[in-house]
Structure 1
Amino acid sequence: MKLTLVLLALVGCVAAFSVPTTHNVKVADKEFLEKQKFLLEIVYRCEDPLMFEEYIKLGHKFVVDKSMYSMFTHEMEKFYESYKMGALLPKGEFFGALVKTHHKQAYGLFNFFYYAKNFEIFKQNVAWARMQVNEGMFIYALTLAVIHKPEFEGLALPMIYEIFPQYFFNSKFVYEAEKFDYDVWSKYIMYEKEYKDILYKDVSEFHDNFYFYTKDWKTWQWWKMMGLGEHWYVEDKYFLRENIATYNKDPKYVDIMKGMTKFYMPVDYTRDISFFNHETQMSYFTEDLGWNSFWYYLNLDYAFFLDGKQFGLEKDRRGEFWIYNVQQILARYYQERLSNGLGEIPEYFWYKQLEFGYDPQLIYYNGVGFSYRKNYFEYETYGNFEMLSQIQHFFERINNVLDSGYYKTADGVVIDLHKPEAVKFIGNYLQGNVDTYDKYFFNYYYVLSHMYFADVEYFDMDVFPHVFLNFETMMRDPFFYTFYKKFADVFYKFKYNLTPYTHEDLHFEDIHIKEVTVSKLVTYFDIVDFDTTNLLNDKMTFVDGKFVWDKTLMARQARLNHQPFEFEFNIDCKTAQKGVVRIFLGPKFDEYGRIIPLKYNAQNFVQIDSFVYPFVAGHNTIKRTSKEFTWTAEDRITYTELYKYVMLAHEGTYDFPLDMTEPHNAFPDRLVLPRGWEHGMPMQFYFFVSPYSEEYEQFSNFDYTYSSGVGSGTRFVDSKPFGYPFDRNVDEYSYFVSNGLFKDVKIYFVDHFAKYFEKKYANFGMFDYSVEY
């Protein structure tokens, strides 16, 4: 939303919208700011006891009067009954959103939040739950309510990696953060400089490209060449992110950050990892915070257990949208694999060993480490056979249904699976959501599959932490892509049975794409600061009852990014009319250098942009930059900064715009391109223009400047199938039309960190803020 980079959707979704170049942004009123302030404070260090006296008093009583709710559901009754019996998941225990027993309790708590008749009831229940309910369950239910409760439109919680950094940063970092004490540390680092590390004294000694150290060499110690130690350090400089210049130009921003003590610590998944199989080299991508949080918010926006009609999710084509996201995630992952010399995503067979293991290096906030999987692990040997049988039966059933070509529901409705509109049935089935036609058979298989791979029994309550049990952690594991490939295979099988588009179907005779010029595509690793203040090991300070936020903890991390790039379209149009421009990016060759035929390669294309354009009769020149992609977002404002802005507005000295923060469900702009190669990785774009003839108007029922429009039914660019025109089995000839164009390109990776390993860095021992990435 910030800088009109509004809304969503996913890596390559037609669900992007074209945002007008000018718009009026609303300013928050006092009531809105009170609500926003409450939400930001109630989740502050949520694994610690609540310290705000106002909320402690408010949360002494749980509201169970049914007249205070617009609806009192069965799940609410069960939740309250569990609370009275002391059967809720205890505080401090691991919460898994995909553990069946945990899920039922979380759903009941969500209903208490969602159906509250007014904000006062909601606020009281939230304050109560903050003190009484398991921390993970509380955040999950609260986030769902803030996203879906209509009257909360525009309100924002901190990003999930700011609320629970433990889900995103390795245990070494978390341990360092939780034991950090500035007074002790400042003395320790003084002694270390004096006695322990020769780098502080002599940087000139080289031998065979290695530095001499008095301590053991670790690959992440390259940070020291940039002035960063292996422990926390203090620096009175600005936070690092790609759009920080925008904020530094704002006098109010400079004012609110005065007096803020900033602590930093390097943490780098591109180096500080254990390489015990070849999949580990992808950790910079699979463990990226933006990549994982995108999947988390997608599965909260279209939660499988929320009724489609009630929450408007049917209007958004929730099942089709979900499975298309899965397909696009796999395509984007495959592109990154090619960048690393890897090939197809490995297949998973129930009866074979899983070759590659995974150690997440995560630790839950209660001190228990996440489970790991050794290499050549056999799920069939160690898992629950009954549960495995149910999951296998699910895939067998859907494949048999697709082979037969039709499905007959329990109430006698026959669905023709060879028609494009049947994608709604397939999508709902694969997600296992409540809109599935045959609820008796389809429900809960999705939950059971994740429980099986995390070694959780049907009725387990006490569960060991496992990445497969929460949406925000599962994409870290390479097995996620292997298992979800089974979902995509079902989706491809459905597509295979659809009649392919003919040349006439795709040809738009009024449009002729003469040429598209693409600027140079360059990727690199840059450095960013993530707000981990919720790990702060320090007492909270209150002055006259007002919370003083004067310290922040930042995790400084290298991550994949790309330089801005630009398209220039030269298009002839016979008559003035609107058209929809779609841009796809796909590989050219496989890992062996062989050209991939379009018939098989279509599933590897990621849609990076789509927009509506008013063509004039004659020649049209369109310039569009990567910064204009409407489904992506730059780095979001941090938790600390957002709170400072809200408090400034709450005091009446600042007009708080409702588009202050980027949308929670936007895809990271920096991950649009795969890493590529130093000498250039061959890729290809496909540009396609189709007629615009839709009955609804985008954003007609929600304000796009501060809402993501979930459940609106008008958030997508048009009503074409997601992935159009690659949404069916491909006849390559049909895609060579005047309104379509393939363009060969190369993606170049530039290593900006190389100079820190050579004798070319003049400012040794100082962090280089002047670097232009």
Structure 2
Amino acid sequence: MKILILFALVAAATALPSFDFDSYDGYQAGDPSVPVAQKQKHVNNLLWKIYDHLHDGELKTIAGSFTPEADKSIYTDGGEAVHHLVQELNDHRLLEQHHWFSLFNERQREEALMLFDVFMHCKNWICFVNNAVYWREKMNEGEFVYALYTAVIHSDLAEGVVLPPLYEVTPHLFTNSEIIQKAYTAKMTHTPGKFHMEFTGTKKNKEQRVAYFGEDIGMNTHHVTWHMDYPFWWKDSYGYHLDRKGELFFWVHHQLTIRFDAERLSNWLDPVDELHWENPIEEGFAPHTIYKYGGEFPARPDHIHFEDVDGVARVRDMIIMESRIRDAIAHGYIEADDGSHIDIMNDRGIDKLGDIIESSLYSPNRQYYGALHNLAHIMLGRQGDPHGKYDMPPGVMEHFETATRDPSFFRLHKYMDNIFKEHKDSLPPYTREELEFPGINAESIGVEGELKTFFEGYEFDLRNAVDSAEGIEDVELKSHVHRLNHHDFSFVADITNNNRNPVLATLRIYLCPRRDSNGVIFEFDDGRWGCIEMDKFWRKLKPGSNHIVRKSSDSSVTVPDVPHFQTLIDAANSGNVDFSEHSRACGIPNRMFLPKGKKDGMEFALVLTVTDGSHDATHDNPEDGEHGGSHSLCGAHGESYPDKRPMGYPIDRQMPDRRVFESVPNFVMQIVKIYHDESVH
């Protein structure tokens, strides 16, 4: 009861919207009594200056008075999760503050998930925010940020809340150390500053040509957010099943890898080579990045051989895990932990294969197949100090925020992508009957507008990178980066429906590099594996001619920029919060929708496939909604994946005879060129 009285006093003393705290137990997930603007303000304040103590008066008061176990009726599990976390705190077992955090550290992940579990068992927002405030002051900052982000993503209580961009919450993970040092100098001298951030390396390193892709803060955000949307540690007891999670793991990383290859071709580089455990890691990496607390991210020299990592894995363990997975593909089944066989020679086999390769808790036999993906990230991250001789902190590969900065990330995922391809190539090719859509002719596919890319300047806030001092106001601190963008355009298609009645159609658009780095045209079956998914949507086709126009900004694989932290603060303070288009940060940045291309144009094959939507669609009336925007790569929260077909259909399987593809009237292809404007906008 003391807690309720405190909340009533705080609410009355502030200019925030007032709540009826007497009906505390009545707050439910969708209860309008707690406005989204208030929830947004709470989240903003919880994530602002995460390494400092709370500044907000309301939350600071709660932190000093709330007792997590005082009223266990506010939890759906009777307080079991919070009791466990309180015990860990009282026993002094939790990681201290001002220490680095890595999700790949088993104990640190366990602690973060203890807090996540508390959030997910809260019955109402009051319980959620009280615990967030209390534990923010007690737990390691990295663990807290991870638990809060994943809870806001997955909890119905936080519906409508937009998470600030991680690159403005924890800038150290996204910004070069030189920029951080300049920001500290500016803060100490109380001088506003805007600092230009270069990509790592020099022109002596050919990998520098594509650093704009792996080091792009929007691409980093997509990667880390996908792993929050579909975490490998997820259990269905948290509330729902993550539909086709293993297949999504394959598809999203396949798309990242082939997009990287397209950028390499745009810069006269060969596609990335796959990693081999017995061969040297060709490309070294100097991250030029530091932890807020814990020193510099370790560097890795060129041409080093893999070494066993003490306490993690031996090189031979990685080879054994790989061989067991390849044996499963060769046999056509996975051996479950109870000894039964799970058939993977079908459309859903890729989902099970993704679960065991990623090392997901969904894996049917984690003991036997191991943790290939997760251990590979740690193995690569520790090669600078594999035996702990120098007690170095984790490498960039041990954080999803920073992993794509390292060129070895794409070598690792090309290696895993080739394992997935081995499975896909073992499946029989699609027959004409499986490909065609009777009565439908795809007449043409093209673009309206020019396919032209350019680099633009972009600024993001660095104020959370520096410490605060009482009585000293913040000054404007920003990092300026160059990033890839493109001019707006639309896909245009003409489709004839020769049936007497309207039909529901699924339209899938792919963009496929046409030539290799030597200018040689890809063979048909080789080229299809490098096709980039550009869009997937549903349309009702009336009898006769149908002219379809689809804006590039409406793509099902991309998302717009996350609003700046300050934008979210201003919106919450004004009570005007409507960021429905930013409901998810998972998705390719829409400005990186197109590969860079070349000054004189780079050829791509633009492919349209039109298939039977009544067979494909999972949900009713799919043409009326976008299923969470970036559903092609990120699915739909708490729902079935919108498309029943395999991800990548119909180019996911071998095509030994291109005439089958070319003879199907519901498929059409057009050669297009992407141009790059070399002047900086």
Q: TM-score per shorter chain, which class?
A: 0.7 to 0.9
1:568 maps to 2:458: no
- What one-letter code is carried by the residue in structure 1 that aligns with 2:506? V
1:334 maps to 2:261: yes
Cα displacement string for residues 438-472 of structure 1 (whole angstroms, at most 9, x for unaligned residues) = 24334645433322222288999x86041111111
1:322 maps to 2:249: yes
Partner of 1:9: none
1:281 maps to 2:216: no
Show the 5 A alignment for 1:290-309. 290-308=218-236
Equivalent residue for 1:426, pick from 353, 356, 359? 353
CA contact 2:187–2:466 (8 Å) conserved in 1: no
Cα offset for 1:540?
7.0
Gaps of 5+ in 2: 1-29
Cα offset for 1:679?
0.9
CA contact 1:28–1:656 (8 Å) conserved in 2: no
CA contact 2:445–2:606 (8 Å) conserved in 1: no
Equivalent residue for 1:506, pick from 426, 435, 446? 435
1:480 maps to 2:409: yes
Equivalent residue for 2:525, pick from 574, 596, 599? 599
CA contact 1:320–1:722 (8 Å) conserved in 2: yes
- Alpha-carbon distance in structure 1 between the residues aligned to 2:636 and 2:540: 26
Show the 5 A alignment for 1:39-78. 39-60=43-64, 61=66, 63-64=68-69, 67-71=73-77
CA contact 2:602–2:673 (8 Å) conserved in 1: yes
- What one-letter code is carried by the residue in structure 1 that aligns with 2:519? G
Show the 5 A alignment for 1:548-587. 552-575=476-499, 576-587=502-513
- Alpha-carbon distance in structure 1 between the residues aligned to 2:80 and 2:381: 29
- Alpha-carbon distance in structure 2 between the residues aligned to 1:698 and 1:313: 23
CA contact 1:369–1:465 (8 Å) conserved in 2: no
1:722 maps to 2:636: no
- What one-letter code is carried by the residue in structure 2 that aligns with 1:585? L
- Alpha-carbon distance in structure 2 between the residues aligned to 1:151 and 1:563: 38
1:362 maps to 2:286: no
Partner of 1:677: 598
- What one-letter code is carried by the residue in structure 1 that aligns with 2:601? G
Cα offset for 1:51?
2.2
- What one-letter code is carried by the residue in structure 1 that aligns with 2:231? A
Show the 5 A alignment for 1:75-90. 79-90=85-96
Indicate how the Cα distance of structure 1 residues 468 and 62 shifts in structure 2: closer, same or farther if over 3 A, else same: farther
- Alpha-carbon distance in structure 1 between the residues aligned to 2:311 and 2:468: 44
Indicate how the Cα distance of structure 1 residues 27 and 617 shifts in structure 2: closer, same or farther if over 3 A, else same: farther
- Alpha-carbon distance in structure 2 between the residues aligned to 1:90 and 1:603: 47
Cα offset for 1:120?
2.4
**Matched residue SS, 1:501:** coil
Show the 5 A alignment for 1:229-628. 233=193, 264-269=194-199, 273-308=201-236, 310-314=238-242, 316-366=243-293, 368-380=295-307, 386-442=313-369, 444-455=371-382, 464-518=393-447, 519-535=449-465, 539=469, 552-575=476-499, 576-628=502-554
Indicate how the Cα distance of structure 1 residues 579 and 679 shifts in structure 2: closer, same or farther if over 3 A, else same: same
Indicate how the Cα distance of structure 1 residues 618 and 413 shifts in structure 2: closer, same or farther if over 3 A, else same: same
Cα offset for 1:496?
1.1
Partner of 1:31: 35
How many residues are treated as equivalent by the alignment? Answer: 638
Cα offset for 1:429?
1.1
Indicate how the Cα distance of structure 1 residues 72 and 723 shifts in structure 2: closer, same or farther if over 3 A, else same: farther
CA contact 1:304–1:433 (8 Å) conserved in 2: yes
- Alpha-carbon distance in structure 2 between the residues aligned to 1:444 and 1:466: 18
Indicate how the Cα distance of structure 1 residues 452 and 622 shifts in structure 2: closer, same or farther if over 3 A, else same: same
Cα offset for 1:516?
2.1
Bigger drift between 411-420 and 129-138 goes to: 411-420
Cα offset for 1:383?
6.5
Indicate how the Cα distance of structure 1 residues 70 and 491 shifts in structure 2: closer, same or farther if over 3 A, else same: same
Partner of 1:131: 137
Indicate how the Cα distance of structure 1 residues 381 and 424 shifts in structure 2: closer, same or farther if over 3 A, else same: closer
Cα offset for 1:52?
2.5
**Matched residue SS, 2:320:** helix
Cα offset for 1:99?
1.4
- What one-letter code is carried by the residue in structure 1 that aligns with 2:263? E
Cα offset for 1:89?
1.6
- Alpha-carbon distance in structure 2 between the residues aligned to 1:325 and 1:552: 36
Cα offset for 1:125?
1.9
**Matched residue SS, 1:175:** helix
- Alpha-carbon distance in structure 1 between the residues aligned to 2:241 and 2:204: 42
**Matched residue SS, 1:584:** strand
CA contact 2:559–2:586 (8 Å) conserved in 1: no
CA contact 2:246–2:351 (8 Å) conserved in 1: yes
CA contact 2:463–2:474 (8 Å) conserved in 1: no
Partner of 1:766: none
Equivalent residue for 1:167, pick from 169, 173, 180? 173
- Alpha-carbon distance in structure 1 between the residues aligned to 2:605 and 2:422: 25
Cα offset for 1:702?
11
Cα displacement string for residues 408-432 of structure 1 (whole angstroms, at most 9, x for unaligned residues) = 3232432222222222211211221
- Alpha-carbon distance in structure 2 between the residues aligned to 1:443 and 1:395: 9
CA contact 1:301–1:710 (8 Å) conserved in 2: no
CA contact 2:227–2:400 (8 Å) conserved in 1: yes
- Alpha-carbon distance in structure 1 between the residues aligned to 2:311 and 2:91: 30
**Matched residue SS, 1:423:** helix
- Alpha-carbon distance in structure 1 between the residues aligned to 2:237 and 2:77: 16
- What one-letter code is carried by the residue in structure 2 that aligns with 1:730? M
Indicate how the Cα distance of structure 1 residues 351 and 746 shifts in structure 2: closer, same or farther if over 3 A, else same: same
Cα offset for 1:557?
1.6
Partner of 1:207: none
CA RMSD between the two structures: 3.1
Cα offset for 1:697?
2.2
CA contact 1:467–1:476 (8 Å) conserved in 2: yes
**Matched residue SS, 1:720:** coil
Partner of 2:23: none
CA contact 1:308–1:434 (8 Å) conserved in 2: no
Indicate how the Cα distance of structure 1 residues 58 and 534 shifts in structure 2: closer, same or farther if over 3 A, else same: same
- Alpha-carbon distance in structure 2 between the residues aligned to 1:701 and 1:115: 30
- What one-letter code is carried by the residue in structure 1 that aligns with 2:432? H
Cα offset for 1:397?
0.6
Indicate how the Cα distance of structure 1 residues 276 and 751 shifts in structure 2: closer, same or farther if over 3 A, else same: closer
Equivalent residue for 2:152, pick from 146, 153, 159? 146
Partner of 2:678: 751
Cα displacement string for residues 12-52 of structure 1 (whole angstroms, at most 9, x for unaligned residues) = xxxxxxxxxxxxxx998753222211110111010122223
Partner of 2:620: 697
- What one-letter code is carried by the residue in structure 2 that aligns with 1:594? V
Cα offset for 1:72?
6.8
Cα offset for 1:393?
1.7
Cα offset for 1:277?
2.7
Cα displacement string for residues 707-753 of structure 1 (whole angstroms, at most 9, x for unaligned residues) = 9874332452x211111111222232222121111211111111123
Gaps of 5+ in 1: 1-25, 186-231, 234-263, 543-548, 650-654, 754-772
**Matched residue SS, 1:582:** strand
Indicate how the Cα distance of structure 1 residues 504 and 458 shifts in structure 2: closer, same or farther if over 3 A, else same: farther
Percent identity over paired residues? 26
**Matched residue SS, 2:35:** helix
Higher RCO by CA contacts (8 Å cutoff, separation 6 or greater): 1
Bigger drift between 42-51 and 332-341 goes to: 42-51
